[in-house]
Amino acid sequence: MTNDRGTLVVISGFSGAGKGTVSRKLVEEYGYSLSISATTRKPREGEQDGVDYFFKTEHEFLSLVDYNGYIEYAQYVGNYYGTPRKFVEDCLKEGRVVILEIEVQGAMNIRQQYPDAILLFITAPSASVLKNRLVGRGTEEPAVIAKRMCRAVEEAESISVYDYIVNNEEGRIEECVEQIHSIIESESCRVSRRAEFIAELKAGLAEGAD
Amino acid sequence: MTNDRGTLVVISGFSGAGKGTVSRKLVEEYGYSLSISATTRKPREGEQDGVDYFFKTEHEFLSLVDYNGYIEYAQYVGNYYGTPRKFVEDCLKEGRVVILEIEVQGAMNIRQQYPDAILLFITAPSASVLKNRLVGRGTEEPAVIAKRMCRAVEEAESISVYDYIVNNEEGRIEECVEQIHSIIESESCRVSRRAEFIAELKAGLAEGAD
């Protein structure tokens, strides 16, 4: 049972919960499409244009905003980040599953524009595991750690916006990836997503015993 | 991620869509519990008390009604059918998945009493396949076939009550059983079912960077 229209899947989660790796594995293993964000931030070492981000000047970024070229965009710490509209819309028209790895604010924008998007939040199995990850190897400044912790508290507040919360346990990333795949497959059986099939079924039955 | 409280799963579907076989396989393969209905209908050949139904006299059935002993019950063609409350409640308390194989009316009653029950409707892959199954081998009276068809049209109208519609294709029952298992697993990741875990996570993080 596939949808005629594709499925938009938003993946968010705590910093260090492994969103990026999970998203890449979903693409590799299940052939899903990954939306690449545009940003005005400078590339970091090793980052490639068109792979990690589409790197743009502020002028380039903002002209695309004028043309309604992003399905959501936001400014963080002086840089713009946005989800290019065309790629996502093309994928949906082709009936594909498209993954957006974005932050909470973006996820809420997506929910408004695409009410049938599936919103997933990736977490560590417990607060203490999460804290250990955030604290890291103990080499970080206490101020940096405190800031991360503060952010995690904020992120936790936003979980209620999401449809699903998925556990990504250390060394068991495959389980997390399979669980997400399974959620996407299960969602395709939702009565609310099968309106066309159900209408056909009803019409076919109503034709009587011919 | 298991739920502390169990999960109630309602399985309905078109006559001949294989609900009974699917339910039995879910029990055998995944260790789910199957609720057995009580009825005042006489046992048919091969039916066993406590396996297929709990066979009861009308007096027995109705005294349990007086004690609020059924989570739902209804009268069809002169006989009573009901879902005994104790078994279901005990399973839920133990955190088990309990399957109820019941009709639309019963499913709607369950939805009201257990808003977080998962309601599944099993279908054939198309109206024509379904019609062929209902028509059978062509040996049935036209009136019998017309009646079945009429019932299927009514059943199709009720699909909107359900959460999921699952395909049970001829010769591919395992796919259907796996799909249902996968839906139940996915539902356990729903944010709405993970309130306790999310609360713990928030509380743990709020304790700060200790």
**B123 pLDDT above the threshold of 90:** yes
pLDDT at residue B53 tops 90: yes
A185 touches chain B (CB under 8 A): yes
Residue B137: band (very low, low, confident or very high) from pLDDT cuts 50, 70, 90? low
DSSP-assigned beta bridge partners for residue B118? B9
C-alpha angle B75-B77-B80 in degrees, rounded to nearest 5:
30
Which position has the higher pLDDT, A192 or B133? A192
pLDDT score for A137: 64
Relative to beta strand B33-34, strand B7-13 is unpaired
Predicted local confidence at residue A1, as pLDDT = 42
CA-based nearest residue to B92, from B80, B77, B78, B110: B110
Q: Do B130 and A206 touch (CB under 8 A)?
A: no
> What per-residue confidence (pLDDT) applies to A209?
46
Cα Rg of chain B, angstroms: 19
- B143 pLDDT above the threshold of 90: no
Quick check: helix, strand or coil at residue B40? coil
> What 8-state DSSP symbol labels residue B51?
T
**Separation of first and last alpha carbons in chain A:** 25
d(CA A134, CA A184): 29
DSSP B72-86: EEEEETTEEEEEEHH
d(CA A49, CA A40): 12
Here the tokens at position A62 are 């903002």
Residue B198 has pLDDT above 50, yes or no: yes
A50: exposed, middle or buried (Cβ count in 10 Å: 0-12, 13-18, 19+): exposed
Torsion of CA A35, A38, A41, A46, to 10 degrees: 50
- Indicate yes or no: CB of A165 within 8 angstroms of CB of B204: no
Full pLDDT tens readout for chain A, 210 residues: 445 789 999 999 988 788 989 999 999 999 999 999 999 999 999 999 999 899 999 999 999 999 999 999 988 888 999 999 999 999 999 999 999 999 888 999 999 999 999 999 999 999 888 888 877 767 778 888 888 888 889 899 999 999 999 999 888 999 999 999 999 999 999 999 999 999 999 999 888 644
Q: Who among A163, A194, A205 is closest to B152 (CB)?
A: A205
First to last CA, chain B: 26
User: Is B187:A164 a contact under the CB 8 Å cutoff?
Assistant: no
pLDDT value for B34: 96
Q: What is the pLDDT of residue A41?
A: 95
Whether residue B135 lies within 8 A of chain A, CB to CB, comes out as yes
Torsion angles phi and psi, residue A82, rounded to 5: -150, 155
For the record, the structure tokens of A144 come out as: 């940096």
Q: What CA–CA distance (Å, rounded) separates A184 from B206?
A: 32
Query: Most A CBs within 10 Å: which of B30, B197, B202, B205, as the mutation test of the A interface?
Result: B205
For residue B209, pLDDT over 60 is answered with no
| Mean pLDDT score of chain B | 91
pLDDT at res. B207: 82
Q: Which residue in B153, B185, B205 is closest to A149 by CB distance?
A: B205
Q: What pLDDT sits at residue A149?
A: 84
